Structure 1
Amino acid sequence: MEYKKLGNTDLELSAITYGAFAIGGNMWGGNEERDSIESVVASLENGVTTLDTAPFYGFGLSEEIVGKAIKGRDRSKIQLLTKFGMIWDESNHGKGDYFFDTEKDGLKTPVYKYSGKASVIQEVENSLIRLGTDYIDLLQIHWPDSTTPIEETMEAMEILLQQGKIRAAGVCNYSVEQLQTANKTVSIASNQVPYSMLKRDIEKELIPYSIKNNFGIIAYSPMERGLLTGKYFTKGNLKSNDHRNNYFGQYDMAKVKAVVDSLIPIAESKKVSVPQLVLRWTTLQPGITVVLAGARNATQAEENAAAIQVSLSAEELTFMNQELIRFGF
Structure 2
Amino acid sequence: MQYRKLGKSDLEVSAITFGAWAAGGWMWGSTDRNDAIEAIRASYDAGVTSIDTAPIYGQGTSEEIVGEAIKGISRDQVQILTKFGMRWDLAKGDFAMHSKNNNGEDIDVYKYAGKDSIIYECEQSLKRLGTDYIDLYQIHWPDSTTPIDETFEAVARLIEQGKVRFAGVCNYNAAQMEEAEKTLKLVSNQIPFSMVNRGVEEETVPYCMENNKSVLAYSPLERGLLTGKITPGYRFQEGDHRAGHKHFQPDFIKKTNALLDQIKPVADRHSATLGQLVLRWTIERPGITVALAGARNAEQAVQNARSAEINLSKEEIDSISELVERF
TM-score (norm 1): 0.97
1:36 match: secondary structure: helix
- Other-structure match for 1:194: 192
Counterpart check, 1:101 vs 2:98? yes
1:140 match: secondary structure: strand
Q: State how far apart, in whole Å, the 2-side matches of 1:31 and 1:3 are.
A: 29
The percent identity for this pair of structures is 53
Instruction: Return 315-324 or 126-135, whichever deviates more.
Output: 315-324
Q: State how far apart, in whole Å, the 1-side matches of 2:300 and 2:257 are.
A: 21
1:226 match: secondary structure: helix
Tell me the matched-pair count: 324
Measured after TM superposition, the shift of residue 29 of structure 1 is: 0.6
2:35 alignment partner AA: D
After superposition, residues 136-175 of structure 1 pair within 5 angstroms as 136-175=134-173
**CA deviation map 1:33-84 (0-9, x unaligned):** 1100000000110100000000000100000000001012100010000000
Q: State how far apart, in whole Å, the 2-side matches of 1:181 and 1:124 are.
A: 22
- Other-structure match for 1:231: 229
**CA deviation map 1:176-217 (0-9, x unaligned):** 000000011011110000001011122222122111111111
Q: State how far apart, in whole Å, the 2-side matches of 1:325 and 1:54 are.
A: 32
2:30 match: secondary structure: coil
Q: State how far apart, in whole Å, the 2-side matches of 1:106 and 1:295 are.
A: 23
- Other-structure match for 2:27: 27
Q: State how far apart, in whole Å, the 2-side matches of 1:237 and 1:2 are.
A: 36
Measured after TM superposition, the shift of residue 249 of structure 1 is: 4.1
- Other-structure match for 2:131: 133
Q: State how far apart, in whole Å, the 1-side matches of 2:273 and 2:235 are.
A: 20
Measured after TM superposition, the shift of residue 325 of structure 1 is: 2.1
Measured after TM superposition, the shift of residue 265 of structure 1 is: 1.1
RMSD (Å) for aligned C-alpha atoms? 1.0
2:174 alignment partner AA: V
Instruction: Return 243-252 or 286-295, whichever deviates more.
Output: 243-252
1:219 alignment partner AA: A
Counterpart check, 1:5 vs 2:2? no
- Other-structure match for 1:315: 315
Q: State how far apart, in whole Å, the 2-side matches of 1:265 and 1:237 are.
A: 28
- Other-structure match for 1:180: 178
Q: State how far apart, in whole Å, the 2-side matches of 1:300 and 1:249 are.
A: 21
TM-score (norm 2): 0.97
Measured after TM superposition, the shift of residue 322 of structure 1 is: 1.1
Q: State how far apart, in whole Å, the 1-side matches of 2:326 and 2:8 are.
A: 37
User: Contact between 2:232 and 2:253, CA under 8 Å: does it hold in 1?
Assistant: no
1:190 match: secondary structure: strand
User: Contact between 2:232 and 2:254, CA under 8 Å: does it hold in 1?
Assistant: no
Gaps of 5+ in 1: none
After superposition, residues 104-123 of structure 1 pair within 5 angstroms as 104=101, 105-123=103-121
Runs of 4+ in structure 1 deviating by more than 4 angstroms, as ranges, are none
- Other-structure match for 2:285: 285
User: Contact between 2:225 and 2:248, CA under 8 Å: does it hold in 1?
Assistant: no
Q: State how far apart, in whole Å, the 1-side matches of 2:233 and 2:58 are.
A: 25
Instruction: Return 39-48 or 237-246, whichever deviates more.
Output: 237-246
Q: State how far apart, in whole Å, the 2-side matches of 1:106 and 1:15 are.
A: 35
Measured after TM superposition, the shift of residue 297 of structure 1 is: 0.4
